[in-house]
Amino acid sequence: MIIDDKDNKIEGQNELVAMKVTGLTIDPFTSMPIIILKDFEDKCALPIWIGLIEASSIATELENIQLARPMTHDLLKSIFDELGVKVQKISVVDLEDNTFYAEIALANGNKHWVIDARPSDAIAIALRMHAPIFVTKKVIEKSRKIDLSQESTSDDQVKKQKWTEILENLSPEDFGKYKM
């Protein structure tokens, strides 16, 4: 599904592709968590490396675990709910120097805001607020060209390319505990 804010017909690099969280996994090379987003037609996947705390927050929401006290993303949800602020969508909008950038679109009545965010935080909030997740076509294209390590040997590059291919071809059933 491809959408924009106006007439659902925007074309080009800023085109928004609706995505869903299909799981969390661990990068075998860095031991860092990776969140996997896939489009609704399972045509493309986007792996985003995230921090351990954010992965824990996302996993907590995916597993519907209720904590005794609110964590940061739960607190933000409570604040938004109390103030009547709706999270309209989150969008992963750029990828520069192997760093992803996201935005959270908020609304309250006729007031609208777009807030810069890390994708992991934006996704954790979107999951809690049941907001749609989008990725620009530009980011999808750039992510296919990520150089994970510029000092890698060619053998390391081959292994990392195979890992990228594995990530892109994962199905939701491949994730076990954290599948959606």
Q: What are the structure tokens assigned to 94, written together?
A: 């750029």
pLDDT tens digits, 55-114: 999 999 999 998 899 899 999 999 999 999 999 999 999 999 989 999 999 999 999 999
pLDDT at 36: 95
pLDDT at 154: 57
Q: What are the structure tokens assigned to 2, written together?
A: 């491809």
pTM, two decimal places = 0.76
Beta-carbon contacts of 43 under 8 Å, excluding residues fewer than 6 positions away, are none
Which helix (H) or strand (E) segment holds residue 73: the answer is: helix 72-83
Q: How far apart are CA 114 and CA 124, in angstroms?
A: 16
The pLDDT-based confidence of 127 (bands split at 50, 70, 90) is very high
Domains of the chain: 2-178 (3.10.690.10)
Q: Calculate ∠ Cα 81-17-174, nearest 5°.
A: 90
- Point out which residues pair with 89 in neighbouring strands: 105
- What is the rounded average pLDDT of the residues 147-159? 52
* 139-143 own/partner pairs: CB under 8 Å, 24+ apart: 139/46, 139/92, 139/93, 139/94, 139/95, 139/100, 140/17, 140/44, 140/46, 141/13, 142/95, 143/46, 143/47, 143/95
pLDDT at 41: 92
